[in-house]
Amino acid sequence: MSNSRADLLGRLFSESRPALRRYVRRLVGSRETADDVVQEAFLRTYVHADNVRVPRAFLFSTARNLAADSRRHNRVAKTDPLGDRADSEVVSLSESPEGQVLADERSRLLRQAIERLSPQCRAAFVLRVFHECSYKEIAQRLGITRKTVENHIARALRETHQDLRQRYK
C-alpha cells in the first residue's frame, strides 16, 4: 500500500470513527459490540484498500453488514435449541425473573412451533436459522434441490409465524 493510501486511511479513521461508532451503536445497541464492529470494519477497509474506490462508503457498508451479522448471531444465540436457557445453571443478573420467565415461554412456544413442522421442513429451517447454513449447504446436506430448500424455509416461516400468532391472540 502506498503512503498516500495509508495517509488517506489515517484521515478516514480520525474523521469517520466517531460517526461510525454512533451509527453502529444504534444498530447493535451495545457500546462494546459497536467498538468491536468498528474495529473490524476499519481492519477490513485497510486490508481491501487497494481494491476500494470509495473507502468511506466501503467502511460504512462493511460496518452495517458486520452489525447485521452481530444482531443475527445474538438473535440465534437466544433461540438456539441446543443451548436451552432453561437448562442452564447460569442466571443473568441483568434480566428480571419475570423477564426470564417470558423469555423461556417465548423459547418454548417457538420450539413447539418448529416441532410441528414436517421433518424435512424442520431440518431445513433449523439448519438455516440456528446454524446459519446457506441454501446451497442445506440442499447438499439434505440431498434436495436449492429450490426445495427455499420452499421449505418459506413454509417454515409462514407456519411458525401463524402458529405463534394463534397462541398470542
Sketch the domain layout of the chain as residue ranges: 3-78, 90-167
Give Dmax over CA atoms of the chain in angstroms: 63
Neighbours of 154 (CB within 10 A): 12
Q: Which of 77-81, 130-134, 148-152, 156-160 has the lowest mean pLDDT?
A: 77-81
Average pLDDT over residues 92-97: 58
- Alpha-helical segments (H) within the chain: 3-28, 31-47, 55-79, 97-115, 119-129, 135-142, 146-167
For residue 59, pLDDT beyond 50: yes
- Asked whether residue 124 carries a pLDDT value surpassing 70, the answer given is yes
- pLDDT band (50, 70, 90) for residue 85: very low
pLDDT over 60 at 77, yes or no: no
Q: Is pLDDT at 141 greater than 70 in this prediction?
A: yes
User: What region, left, alpha or beta, does residue 157 occupy, with left being phi > 0 and alpha being psi -120 to 50 degrees?
Assistant: alpha
CATH topology of domain 3-78: Rna Polymerase Sigma Factor; Chain: A (1.10.1740)
Mean pLDDT estimate for the chain:
80
Residue 169 has pLDDT above 70, yes or no: no
The pTM score is 0.45
Top pLDDT among 119 and 169 is at: 119
More confident residue, 135 or 6: 135
**15-34: average pLDDT:** 89
Q: What is the mean pLDDT of residues 133-153?
A: 91
d(C-alpha 65, C-alpha 114), whole Å: 28
Residue of higher predicted confidence among 73 and 111: 111
pLDDT band at 126 (very low <50, low <70, confident <90, very high): confident
In the numeric block, the cell 418448529 is attached to 114
Of the candidates 39, 71, 44, the one whose C-alpha atom is nearest the C-alpha of residue 58 is 44
CATH number of 90-167: 1.10.10.10
